């Protein structure tokens, strides 16, 4: 009975959650806010003229999809958006009165006109971001190196055959139409008037020139949004099958989904190998995504195990963009044990609270702090809450969450305060500088 009583007490104590750290050390937060960051993942828009539209900030834009519910932290009533107006544009009010918001919009338009092509850099200075990686189909006005670094989308290269069997939801039907348009663009830019009839020729005449052209244009990485199009389970290479299926269906007809995915698995490895040869990191969207038909199970970064374990790809660095946001953050933490796998917490700092994000960051720092990257996932929005406000909200949440995580580690005796500052610089800046060879 004594043993059972002691065991019950022990189990009860184990079930009581540890008290969360209430607030970050204010001096540590001041230090963190001074660090000029590298934003690993954004969809920053270019400067446009009156009446012009920027349609290249994402290869697979979510706006045309049926709207889905917006998480609490990303809704317009988040107080951080009001603070963004005050910080960025000198907004004098603590309300959202219609007359005051009209005044704000006039101020925003005036500053944008005055700054002209310098406007994106003007915003970066106010977010204390030195370098921003821009996930875009192509760069544009105001997005000039070295402050803005290109990350083009290369999913389209995976889909040279008829995509009918893959477009199995309304969202994917739209997305595959976008990918087909982008592949035509890559073919034209590679001076290939017709699709090559042999798989190896498609690699040498389309894939390799496309990546080399992107590298020459300033790309530091390439991006896959494959989780919106198929499962991330790029299986073991079946080269002979892929070659035969490609040869059969390049002439016409529609491959089955199972057949087509064998071709895609081959092509992905070819792309990733070429990226490694050129010194381009490979970014993957992981975790939650937009649209009512998004396949959460198919976005698990653990599905990429055969890629991480492919010896032929060890010279290619991979980044888990969003770090498995939602259900897979702990999977991402363990995957960073692979020598060429990194993760950022972009999007998480826009979707969850400071406290919730601090838990994720602390978990990652207690595993592999050299592999953790900062990112905002900022993108265009409404006139009132546009990409600068989205960036301010995400960056503020990220810095406070990082400070909260590090404060807890210091208070628990895991690290010194000096080490906390060092880790903060690594996460916000130095890990990305090293990964992309920035100066």
For residue 414, what are its two tokens? Answer: 């895991």
What pLDDT is recorded for position 352? 96
Question: pLDDT value at position 437?
Answer: 97
Residues of the chain with pLDDT under 70: 1-21
Which residues does 375 contact at the CB level (< 8 Å), separation at least 6?
Answer: 39, 40, 41, 42, 133, 321, 344, 345, 346, 347, 349
pLDDT value of residue 21: 62
pLDDT, position 67: 75
Report CA-CA distances (Å) from 214 to 54, 217, 361, 372, 413.
Answer: 20, 5, 32, 25, 46
CA 29 from centroid of its chain's CA atoms: 25
What does the alpha-carbon distance between residue 272 and residue 267 come to, in Å, rounded to a whole number? 9
Residue 113 maps to a domain:
yes
Task: Give domain status of residue 1, yes or no.
Answer: no
Q: Does any domain span residue 68?
A: yes
Between the two ends of the chain, the Cα-to-Cα distance in Å is: 66
User: What is the predicted pLDDT for the residue at 68?
Assistant: 78
Look at residue 9 and tell me if it is in a domain.
Answer: no
Q: Tell me if 265 is assigned to some domain.
A: yes
Report the predicted TM-score, pTM, of the whole model to 2 decimal places.
0.93
Residue 115 structural domain:
21-436
Residue 13 covered by a domain:
no
Strand order in the sheet with 372-373: 221-224, 281-287, 318-325, 341-344, 372-373
Identify each DSSP E strand in 126-205 by its residue range. 129-135, 148-151
CATH assignment at residue 335: 3.20.20.140
Q: What is the DSSP letter of 130?
A: E
Q: Report yes or no on 233 lying in a domain.
A: yes
Condensed to tens digits (0 to 9), the pLDDT of residues 348-357 reads 999 999 999 9
Q: What would the two tokens of residue 159 be?
A: 């889909």
Residues near 43 by beta carbon (within 8 Å), at least 6 away in sequence: 57, 58, 134, 135, 136, 377, 378, 379, 380, 387
For the chain, the domain total comes to: 1
């Amino acid at each position: 009975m004594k043993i059972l009583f002691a065991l019950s007490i022990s189990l009860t104590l184990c079930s009581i959650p540890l008290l969360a750290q209430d607030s970050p050390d204010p001096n540590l937060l001041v230090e963190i806010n001074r660090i000029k960051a590298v934003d690993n993942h954004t969809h920053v828009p270019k400067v446009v003229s009156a009446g012009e539209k920027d349609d290249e900030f994402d290869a697979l834009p979510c706006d045309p999809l049926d709207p889905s519910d917006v998480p609490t932290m990303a809704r317009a009533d988040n107080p951080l958006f009001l603070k963004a107006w005050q910080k960025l544009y000198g907004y004098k009010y603590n309300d959202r009165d219609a007359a005051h918001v009209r005044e704000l919009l006039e101020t925003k338009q005036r500053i944008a006109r005055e700054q002209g092509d310098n406007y994106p850099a003007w915003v970066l200075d106010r977010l204390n971001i030195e370098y921003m990686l821009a996930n875009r189909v192509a760069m544009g006005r105001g997005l000039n190196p070295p402050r803005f670094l290109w990350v083009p989308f290369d999913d389209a290269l995976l889909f040279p055959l008829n995509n009918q069997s893959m477009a199995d939801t309304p969202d994917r039907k739209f997305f595959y139409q976008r990918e087909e348009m982008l592949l035509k663009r890559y073919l034209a830019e590679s001076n290939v008037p017709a699709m090559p009839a042999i798989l190896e020729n498609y690699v040498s005449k389309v894939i390799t020139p496309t990546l080399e052209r992107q590298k020459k244009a300033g790309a530091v990485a390439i991006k896959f949004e494959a989780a919106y199009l198929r499962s991330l389970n790029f299986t073991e290479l079946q080269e002979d099958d892929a070659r035969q299926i490609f040869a059969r269906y390049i002439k016409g007809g529609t491959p089955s989904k199972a057949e087509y995915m064998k071709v895609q698995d081959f092509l992905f490895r070819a792309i990733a190998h070429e990226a490694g040869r050129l010194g381009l990191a490979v970014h993957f969207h992981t975790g939650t995504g937009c649209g009512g038909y998004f396949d959460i199970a198919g976005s698990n970064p653990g599905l990429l195990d055969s890629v991480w374990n492919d010896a032929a790809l060890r010279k290619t660095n991979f980044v888990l963009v969003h770090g498995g946001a939602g259900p897979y953050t702990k999977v991402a933490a363990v995957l960073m044990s692979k020598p060429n796998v990194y993760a950022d917490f972009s999007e998480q700092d826009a979707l969850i609270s400071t406290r919730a994000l601090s838990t994720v960051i602390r978990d990652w720092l207690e595993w592999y702090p050299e592999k953790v990257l900062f990112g905002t996932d900022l993108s265009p929005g409404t006139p009132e809450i546009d990409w600068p406000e989205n960036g301010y909200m995400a960056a503020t949440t990220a810095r406070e969450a990082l400070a909260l995580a590090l404060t807890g580690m210091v208070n628990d005796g895991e690290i010194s305060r000096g080490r906390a500052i060092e880790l903060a610089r690594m996460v916000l800046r130095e890990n990305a500088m090293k990964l992309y060879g920035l100066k």
